[in-house]
Amino acid sequence: MKFSLKTIILSGVLLIILGLAATGIWIYLESRPVDERQHHQNVTLRVPSGATFRQVTDSLFAEDLLRNKMVFRALGRVTGKDRSIRSGIFEIPPGLNAYDLLTYLENATPKQFKVTLPEGITSNKMAEILAAKVGIDSTIFVDLVYDSTFTAKLVGNSPNLEGFLLPETYHFEWKTPEEQIITRMVENTLRIFQPDSVIAQLKKYEWTFRDALTMASIVEGEALVDSERVIISSVYHNRLRLGMRLQADPTIQFVLPGPPRRLLFRDLEIDSPYNTYKYAGLPPGPISNPGKASILAAIFPENTPFVYMVAIGDGRHKFSKTLREHNFWHAKFNEVRRRVKREQRQNNGSQ
């Protein structure tokens, strides 16, 4: 039985059409969303920095978000979307077909994580918090803080960035580069120094930014009540003006190993340039990273005659103009502390 050329051509075309149709149907079926009953909530997908499109595809398949890896990779190549997926953590909504999933990953913003950094912490402690919250490398973070070249690039004449990292609440993507995080914190601090009134005060004191941050870090370490920051600052300013040593307890705590504790008389004899009981003037640099309130308090102290203060046990201080007055209040509150301890021992003994 002979077939005409026309019949053969038509048969070939028909087979191609059927093949394309079958392929199209197969691609459609393999591109459909995975059974939505498996996913009632968003699925968290982590795309590491430098991950290939094949690795992303494997992760999606492992999370049951794809029916067919080959179809997904082919769609990515054909559309060019395989080159535009960012790293980060994404919340993938349920019910996306392969193309919609590609489009989502192309346009989605990586999830951001809230990080609250308390005022008065060191860069080492910041690094620990950021490592736990957003996965940074804490060693790289601290090394950058103390890198003289990086420091000069951001703030100019300063040996390091301790004190320049403004503690507040931030939102960062997972594994945001350490350099980017530090730069943002420093820029927030430098913004505080922009007003003309601030610049005028620094000129009055003949202070650099670093000097102001050093004073602010001491105020931060001493103040537990917001309203007292400007008064505490005035005490230290008055002592500097009168040529008195600052005698600031937070500077001693800074050089002591371990967590803060009650100071002993021998601690006041530690030979360190940060020991403001031993050496006059400001210490060599900030002892922590102060918050905005303490920075402004350091620059704009309240006008008071006080040169002494003593903690009264509830976070507040009693301020004095004379040593005699200070000694009176010091003895009074020491007696209160001793009485409280006696009562505690008696109560413990009667239980």
| Average of per-residue pLDDT across 226-251 | 97
Number of H helices, E strands in the chain: 14, 6
Amino acid code (one letter) for 277:
Y
Q: How far apart are the C-alpha atoms of 285 and 299, rounded to whole Å?
A: 16
What is the SS3 assignment for 323? helix
Amino acid code (one letter) for 20:
L
Q: How far apart are the C-alpha atoms of 255 and 262, rounded to whole Å?
A: 14
- pLDDT of the residue at 151: 97
DSSP collapsed to 3 states, 260-279: CCCCCHHHHHCCCCCCCCCC
Domains along the chain?
Answer: 31-107 (3.30.1490.480), 112-192 (3.30.1490), 196-303 (no CATH)
In percent, how much of the chain has pLDDT > 90? 56
Q: What are phi and psi of 163, to 5 degrees?
A: 100, -25
Strands, E assignment, 167-237? 169-173
With 80 as the cut, is the pLDDT of residue 11 above it? no
- pLDDT of the residue at 24: 47
Question: In the structure encoding, which two tokens stand for residue 141, read together?
Answer: 């973070």
- Which residues share a beta bridge with 169? 116
For residue range 97-140, list pLDDT tens digits in order: 877 888 888 888 899 999 999 999 999 999 999 999 999 999 99
**243, 280 contact by CB (below 8 A):** yes
Question: In the structure encoding, which two tokens stand for residue 219, read together?
Answer: 């105020």
Q: How confident is the model at residue 28 (pLDDT cuts 50, 70, 90)?
A: very low
Strands, E assignment, the chain? 43-47, 88-92, 112-116, 169-173, 308-311, 317-320
Q: How far apart are the C-alpha atoms of 233 and 215, rounded to whole Å?
A: 8
Report the C-alpha dihedral over residues 196, 202, 203, 208, rounded to 10 degrees: -120
The HSE-up count of residue 341 (CA atoms within 13 Å, CB side) is: 7
- pLDDT of the residue at 4: 65
Confidence (pTM): 0.82
For residue range 155-190, list pLDDT tens digits in order: 998 999 999 999 999 999 999 999 999 999 999 999
* DSSP code for 168: S
